[in-house]
Structure 1
């Protein structure tokens, strides 16, 4: 390549990396700020997770439209509009003053962020010559892995130093720089005869998934099916998804080509990545709440304690990539990853209010190793038996399930935490009464008589933290079992076919 071409490739690489890291970072940077946002926005621990799930559900719904948008407008145009919209939505999130307001702007942020990673990947593939495309994907992969590592630490530092609003404002300078550098990207990908958009199928998918998210997020607050709202949303979700499946199997150009799920590896791999999403994002929600609410860590310290999970994941991805290059069975790598993930999650089920920082760090690192060893080989297995011409649409299904699994997982984990906390409160509070000798010993040691203040101290100092920890442990148990559920799915996956040996066998291998 000439010097000018090299300069253009560097500009494109930096622009795409900025845009993709900005989008991936937003999945994790917000987590450590949730406790502070909860106070400012007057929301409880169950409601505040809407800040996460609204972003992810918008990603789920808009992701399948990415290819169709590129066919109509070209890669550069889609990327520029996505970056500009993401920056504007980030600024609006930063100035939000109520829960409904920030959920609305997070939805908008998710809408514009959905196309950044897939279009960025395509731009990188076109910018690099064929012999360097592996290097391009490695660079992009490292950028994507920076999110889980930098997100909690950067989010904690910004929250402690400035305020939680800066976890959104930080996107503005990076977005503006990415927008300027993206001018160097050629506007390729447009088609003179783009595929028609199945708007009815898209509407049915949006209604079905949106209502499902509403059921999962509101169900705990409204006592599930004793609420008319939950019953109506459940019916809307069931009918929407049922007609969406029927529509996808009936039209020539569906929004999501569900016919590809006839391939066993793709369907099992997609189911597996959905469960994997629950394990990944579920843990990312539980840890900050436990560390900040019950162990009283500052936001920055919380971020530092959570960073080892991202470090472990990145190291494991490098190892997984090298093992795959040596033709190691991807299924064996995934099973080893499940073992590490389950071990790291099992130790979290033994936590209590007196654990040291080390007991948070090393299980997180071990779980990160598991997450890294599962993700890339599972992707390889899912696409090992599908035709090359169908891989782009198959990738849409796979990524849809990963994001949907994370979104549903966050809602389920939040519900489990809230219910566990309520059950713990009911059980422990029943033992606080004047007829319990331990009650009199405690208030005597505290120098208090049977006054209203004694009851308040007992509730806030003893019962509430223990009940909250009960909910956290129930959620950790769920993430532990989610790794175990992956095992039968992985065992059913077929090994990729052996690569054909080139003519001349031994001679070819020697060069």
Structure 2
């Protein structure tokens, strides 16, 4: 493969991965528009996000198996076509459930765009430059979910929500044509007997778990019968899946590779990193828009400086690893940056300027840059070439699951903390609290000046006080959410002590890219 073709293929597969990751978050800010346009409730419209996440997490651990049995080139190009066609159909959906169905199919196509893209990127670099490969792919992993809400907000504000799907079409067509001419078919193992039992257990287990995580808080968890049923089903199916996969000859997901300590530890750390990545992208626009009054575009601009810094930091991190700097040391600093980010965000107030929030987000971006590259390298550092696609897929699945778990935990935690903060604030609104009396009096006087009678003015004043209480209790709860995620990052740090020198430095053996 010539240097030019290698560069074009590299750009193609990274662009495809970014496109897939953008779609995990681009619809978040468009739900209200979709709901009104399609005549659906906001609760039903949220299934547009849920269906994509379920399909994504189901298909990612199966990508290695599918690529080997169908042929990686055929599977990858087919997935791009499926993703692109379903993007068009999503934009043309005439009702909410049609949109949800095509989003699910889009998610199935998107799975290969992440895992197979990562494997191709690694193969395009010789073993001594694997860290550079990890850095380049890390840029895509970071940029995709980060710019999704910004791009979605801009499009829905200035055009219409179907265009958040239509923008995938030219990228998808270009990527499919490019791969048709550039993507090679590696030497693959003989097609194995299809593990239908494993596939069904994985679909039922992961699918049920994702529905529970995505819908649990909305439907008050176990007070809803279907949430209880799906929780039990997920536990039974995933337990049976693990037992089955460990005892059959040709499993759809080779769980035996988790015996490598580097992959196991990287998977746990990647899970937490996924929590931090997706919860921060979820929480920050919510706080900026609902509490601080920012528009979707302004909220996205808060993230822009951090994204620029992250691209530079990712490249620097790759070079540090190439020079022999310990991945565990870089991961440590990455986790510390993320802990600082969450701690700082948990201490902001309603008067905090946008510059301070942007500065905090730069620390988040640096943390992500310091984690993405060495964790990706660590995950495959002890694997043989034949196991690398499976290891990459498992690690990517852990990131996606971490995001789902994180958002579910945050939604539940914030809802519980709102009630607690509200109670704390209400206890101070009494007739013997001079500050409370002064505030009610000032509001009453304000409404009297606007022409309201005394009784109406007092009623309006109390309604305004209620709005202030709701806003402040919500704000305090979101800040608690940041602190909780920072706590999760802190408690897994000791795992780095179990990363042996051998795990950290063993080179990855990959097939030559000179095809």
Using structure 1 for the length normalisation, give the TM-score: 0.86
Check the 8 A contact 1:31/1:284 in 2, yes or no: no
Cα distance in 1 between the residues matched to 2:267 and 2:483: 23
Q: Name the structure 1 match of 2:320.
A: 323
State which of 294, 300, 317 in structure 2 corresponds to 1:297.
294
Q: Answer with 260-269 or 342-351: which moved more.
A: 260-269
Check the 8 A contact 2:422/2:473 in 1, yes or no: yes
1:278 aligns with 2:275: yes
Q: Answer with 309-318 or 345-354: which moved more.
A: 309-318
Cα distance in 2 between the residues matched to 1:474 and 1:274: 20
1:464 aligns with 2:465: no
Cα distance in 1 between the residues matched to 2:359 and 2:472: 23
1:450 aligns with 2:455: yes
Q: Answer with 419-428 or 74-83: which moved more.
A: 419-428
Q: Name the structure 2 match of 1:24.
A: 21
Q: Answer with 82-91 or 381-390: which moved more.
A: 381-390
Secondary structure class of the residue paired with 2:160? coil
Q: Name the structure 2 match of 1:439.
A: 440
Check the 8 A contact 1:66/1:115 in 2, yes or no: yes
The 3 A distance-change label for structure 1 pair 420 and 100 is farther
Check the 8 A contact 1:57/1:404 in 2, yes or no: no
1:491 aligns with 2:491: no
Per-residue deviation at 1:445?
Answer: 3.3
State which of 213, 234, 237 in structure 2 corresponds to 1:216.
213
Q: Answer with 387-396 or 342-351: which moved more.
A: 387-396
State which of 390, 405, 411 in structure 1 corresponds to 2:387.
390
Check the 8 A contact 2:381/2:506 in 1, yes or no: no
Q: Name the structure 2 match of 1:509.
A: none
State which of 226, 231, 234 in structure 2 corresponds to 1:234.
231
Cα distance in 2 between the residues matched to 1:298 and 1:485: 35
- Equivalent residue runs for 1:34-49 within 5 Å: 34=31, 36-37=33-34
Q: Name the structure 2 match of 1:507.
A: none
Instruction: Count how many residue pairs are aligned between Structure 1 and Structure 2.
Output: 496
1:245 aligns with 2:218: no
Cα distance in 2 between the residues matched to 1:440 and 1:120: 63
Per-residue deviation at 1:283?
Answer: 0.6
Check the 8 A contact 1:11/1:184 in 2, yes or no: no
For structure 2, the residue ranges without an aligned partner over 5 or more in a row are 508-515
Cα distance in 2 between the residues matched to 1:161 and 1:253: 51
Cα distance in 2 between the residues matched to 1:310 and 1:491: 30
Check the 8 A contact 1:57/1:407 in 2, yes or no: no
Cα distance in 2 between the residues matched to 1:107 and 1:181: 25
Q: What is the CA deviation profile of residues 326-364 of structure 1, one whole-angstrom value per residue up to 9, with x for unaligned ones?
A: 111111111111111111111100122222111210000
Secondary structure class of the residue paired with 1:193? coil
Check the 8 A contact 1:270/1:398 in 2, yes or no: yes
Q: Answer with 485-494 or 309-318: which moved more.
A: 309-318
State which of 63, 81, 96 in structure 2 corresponds to 1:66.
63
Q: What is the CA deviation profile of residues 256-287 of structure 1, one whole-angstrom value per residue up to 9, with x for unaligned ones?
A: 22222223332222111111111111111111
Q: Name the structure 2 match of 1:508.
A: none
The 3 A distance-change label for structure 1 pair 142 and 441 is closer
Cα distance in 1 between the residues matched to 2:265 and 2:411: 26
Secondary structure class of the residue paired with 1:496? helix
For structure 1, the residue ranges without an aligned partner over 5 or more in a row are 502-511
Q: Name the structure 1 match of 2:264.
A: 267
Q: Name the structure 1 match of 2:340.
A: 343
Using structure 2 for the length normalisation, give the TM-score: 0.85
State which of 174, 177, 182 in structure 2 corresponds to 1:180.
177
Q: Name the structure 2 match of 1:309.
A: 306
Cα distance in 1 between the residues matched to 2:24 and 2:287: 19
